[in-house]
Amino acid sequence: MDLFVHYLSMPYLVEGVGYTLLITVLGLLGGFAMGLVLAWMQLSRFRALAIVARGYSIIFRGTPLILQMVFCYNALPLIGIKLTAISAASLALALNEAPFIAEILRANVIGVDRGQVSAGQALGMTPAAIMRRIVAPQAIRSMVPALGNETISALKNSSLASVVAVQELTLRSTQLASATFDFFSIFFASGLMYLVLTGAVAVIQIVIELLLDLDRPPPKEQFARFMRALLPGRGESALATAGAAPQTPADVAEEILEEIETDPLPPASPKVVNLHVRGIDREARARRLAGNAVAVEVTGLRKSYGPQAVLAGVDLTVRAGEIVAMLGPSGSGKSTLLRCINRLEGWDEGAIRVGGRFLGTDEAGRALSPRDVAQMRAGVGVGMVFQQFNLFGHLTARENIAGPLRWVQGLSRLNADRRAQELLERVGLAHRADALPRHLSGGQQQRVAIARAVAPGPSVLLLDEPTSALDPELVNEVLEVIQRLAVEEGLAMVISTHQLRFAGEVADRVVFLSGGRIVEEGPADQVLNTPRHPLTARFLSKMSAE
Ligand X SMILES: Nc1ncnc2c1ncn2[C@@H]1O[C@H](COP(=O)(O)OP(=O)(O)OP(=O)(O)O)[C@@H](O)[C@H]1O
Single residue of 310, 323, 481, 485 touching ligand X by CB under 6 A: 310
**Interatomic CA distance for residues 79 and 196, integer angstroms:** 40
**Minimum distance, C-beta of residue 519 to ligand X, in the bound complex (Å):** 13
- Alpha helices in 131-278, H assignment, sequence order: 136-157, 169-180, 183-212, 219-230, 235-241, 249-262, 270-277
Q: Which is nearer to ligand X, 145 or 515 (CB)?
A: 515
The binding track of 286-305 with respect to ligand X, each residue x by CB under 6 A or -, is -------------------x
518 to 32, 427, 508: CA distances (angstroms): 52, 33, 16
- In the beta sheet, which residues pair with residue 511? 326, 521
Single residue of 78, 250, 330, 365 touching ligand X by CB under 6 A: 330
Single residue of 276, 334, 343, 426 touching ligand X by CB under 6 A: 334
Q: Are 37 and 105 in contact (CB under 8 A)?
A: no
**Minimum distance, C-beta of residue 478 to ligand X, in the bound complex (Å):** 17
> Does residue number 117 form part of the binding site for ligand X (CB under 6 A)?
no
> Does residue number 332 form part of the binding site for ligand X (CB under 6 A)?
yes
Q: Which is nearer to ligand X, 9 or 330 (CB)?
A: 330
299 to 138, 302, 349, 455, 520: CA distances (angstroms): 39, 9, 9, 29, 16
From 65-73, 267-275, 329-337, 411-419, span contacting ligand X (CB under 6 A): 329-337
Site for ligand X in 459-488 (CB under 6 A): 465
498 to 329, 415, 504, 510, 539: CA distances (angstroms): 9, 37, 11, 12, 10
Q: Which is nearer to ligand X, 138 or 332 (CB)?
A: 332
Q: Contacts with ligand X: how many residues (CB under 6 A)? A: 11
Single residue of 127, 331, 370, 442 touching ligand X by CB under 6 A: 331
From 171-179, 229-237, 278-286, 328-336, span contacting ligand X (CB under 6 A): 328-336
**Minimum distance, C-beta of residue 114 to ligand X, in the bound complex (Å):** 10
**Minimum distance, C-beta of residue 342 to ligand X, in the bound complex (Å):** 14
> Around Cβ 67, how many Cβ atoms within 10 Å?
14
> Does residue number 333 form part of the binding site for ligand X (CB under 6 A)?
yes
Largest pairwise CA distance in the chain: 104
From 87-95, 256-264, 330-338, 362-370, span contacting ligand X (CB under 6 A): 330-338
**Minimum distance, C-beta of residue 332 to ligand X, in the bound complex (Å):** 4
Buried b (16+ CB within 10 A) or exposed e, 516-533: bbbbbbbebeebbeebee
Instruction: Output Rg (C-alpha) for the chain, integer angstroms.
Output: 31
Q: Which is nearer to ligand X, 334 or 432 (CB)?
A: 334
> Does residue number 517 form part of the binding site for ligand X (CB under 6 A)?
no
> Does residue number 105 form part of the binding site for ligand X (CB under 6 A)?
no
> Around Cβ 414, how many Cβ atoms within 10 Å?
9
* Residues at the site binding ligand X, with contacts judged by CB under 6 A: 305, 310, 328, 330-336, 465
